[in-house]
Structure 1
Amino acid sequence: MAELNYSSYLKTDVLLSLQRTQVPETADRTVVLAEHFFIVAHQSCELWLKQTVADLSLARDLLSSTGRSADGVDTSVELLQRAAELLRVLHEQVLVLERLPLRHFVQFRPYLGTASGAQSQQFMVLGGLLGDGGEEGELYRAFEASADRRGCTVADVCRLGIASGGLHRVAEALLDVGNGYWRWKVAHLGLMSKMVGGQQGTGGTSGEEFLMRRITLPFPELRRLRGALHTQELAASPA
């Protein structure tokens, strides 16, 4: 068996052959490179999404497991923190796309057909993990189950703070992930508005309106319970 090297380990020959532009060969070279840039950015997003979904799925499974070992909670925190950083990278990917000149995008966009980021299967899985449309997702339900096995509720975790140990770190990491997800969506809406305006999306969506409806903060119940502490604090304060 041939010894592994950088190229064979990462399959760079295959990886670097996957950026296939659709504009005609007669198109201006700057337009071809603009579409190439567009493809690279989206393929990179899918790779980072793959890692994000895998990390969050394992965090969910660890929180859902029947054991009460601290190891599972601690590892889930590590995975959630990494996912939060990956969502920051995905946000930066959107900002990079702002360097796509509109005049070039207008020329190659018709060749995208019905291809749309809204069709990303991994993005749909991520929505199921984090929750979409104001609904709680799989991760929050796993967090609730983890708290229940330890004889407390999410409200108790919020009230006790660091005294609740690993569950407090999970709650903080969940919010970091949720905020990163929200920032990514907001950046995408800004890019869409800048580049397309009120035009319909390539996948047949209403464009800006469609994206705006999908921008919600994950983990609404956790946010509500944390916010309720302010009211409780005021009620406990001496007159």
Structure 2
Amino acid sequence: MPDANPDQPDPANPDSPERAYSDFTRSLNYGDYLRIDTLMSAHQPVTQAHDEHLFIAVHHVSEVWLNLIVQELRAAMTLLSAGVTDTPLKMLSRVVRAQEQMTNAWEVLKTMTPADYLQFRSAFGRASGFQSAQYRMMEFLLGNRNAMLLRPHQHRPDLYGPLEAVLNAPSLYDLALRLLSERGLDIPPSVLERDFAQPYIQDEAVLAAWLTVYRDPERYWDVYELAEKLIDVEDNFRRWRFNHLTTVERTIGFKTGSGGTSGAGYLRKALDTVLFPELWQVRTEL
């Protein structure tokens, strides 16, 4: 018997594309479910420059990843505040993977040369990633607190309100320290009841508590695992910032940023930020 012609449709073959659904008059298809038309309609370059398409695409994709990161951080923090530690580890692992995707996006953007960028840079005026509400939300949830960073969102109460609320609430690290206290480790009231809108300051008693955990991980396994996952998150946070810096330097050098900061100088200084200081210091003390 001759073999079936692979170029001819065969509805009886379970692997044939002919068996795929084709009538979507009464159900959602791929584009409907994901609202692809709406997504693509947001992609609106303001110049004819070829690389503006790349620039917008990379930033759109990054905002989608930021949205996922914020959702996962919020969910993990809700569970941690209730004393649950296992499920948040999975959520934080997802945060780490999403961070990796965001970091890799800079590699795509680096294919844009300085001459390419200058063809459209002036067209978007003062718009800057510095004004990303989702990035700021992620930073606030992770504990990088600065009330001044709310100012670019004053004209949008729908953005300003949620950001202000998170600024004044415990961060991811604050919740981890509460768990240490609940496990019987000595965390000072001045740390547990601090002004959360202020940047966290390293504390020797907190360092001592983490040392206890790291010297006896079997006894404190859940918070030990959480600590290592926090290190993963901050490690990737630093990598994203470093790739951001190098992308800016190779594209505009040390020109002032479109959002009004010093550009590369501001980003280089931001590399000094440490979110979970005792978790890094504990490695030296062990």
> TM-score over 0.5 for the alignment?
yes
Task: Indicate whether 1:217 and 2:274 are aligned.
Answer: yes
2:275 and 2:125 mapped to 1: Cα distance? 32
The offset of 1:93, in angstroms, is 0.7
Matches within 5 A, 1:188-207: 188-207=244-263
Identity of aligned residues (%): 33
Report 1 or 2 for greater relative contact order, CA contacts < 8 Å, sequence distance ≥ 6. Answer: 1
Match of 2:3 in 1: none
Q: Which runs of 5+ in 1 are unaligned?
A: 230-239
1:118 and 1:125 mapped to 2: Cα distance? 12
Task: Indicate whether 1:15 and 2:15 are aligned.
Answer: no
Match of 1:233 in 2: none
2:231 and 2:41 mapped to 1: Cα distance? 38
1:6 and 1:13 mapped to 2: Cα distance? 11
Task: Indicate whether 1:164 and 2:220 are aligned.
Answer: yes
Task: Indicate whether 1:127 and 2:139 are aligned.
Answer: yes
The answer to whether the 8 A contact 1:129-1:139 is kept is: yes
The offset of 1:124, in angstroms, is 1.0
Q: How many residues align?
A: 215
Of 31, 34, 51, the residue aligned with 1:34 is: 51
The offset of 1:171, in angstroms, is 0.7
1:60 and 1:224 mapped to 2: Cα distance? 24
Task: Indicate whether 1:150 and 2:180 are aligned.
Answer: no
The structure 1 segments of at least 4 consecutive aligned residues displaced by more than 4 Å after TM superposition are none
1:118 and 1:184 mapped to 2: Cα distance? 14
Instruction: Give deviations 1:162-193, integer Å, cap 9, x for gaps.
Output: 44222111111100000000000000000000
The offset of 1:2, in angstroms, is 3.3
The code of the aligned residue for 2:93 comes to: Q
Higher helix share: 1
Of the structure 1 ranges 74-83 and 209-218, higher mean CA displacement relative to structure 2 is found in: 209-218
Q: TM-score, normalised by structure 2?
A: 0.71
The answer to whether the 8 A contact 1:132-1:214 is kept is: no
Q: TM-score, normalised by structure 1?
A: 0.85
The answer to whether the 8 A contact 1:73-1:170 is kept is: yes
2:215 and 2:75 mapped to 1: Cα distance? 27
Aligned-pair RMSD on alpha carbons?
1.8
1:154 and 1:128 mapped to 2: Cα distance? 23
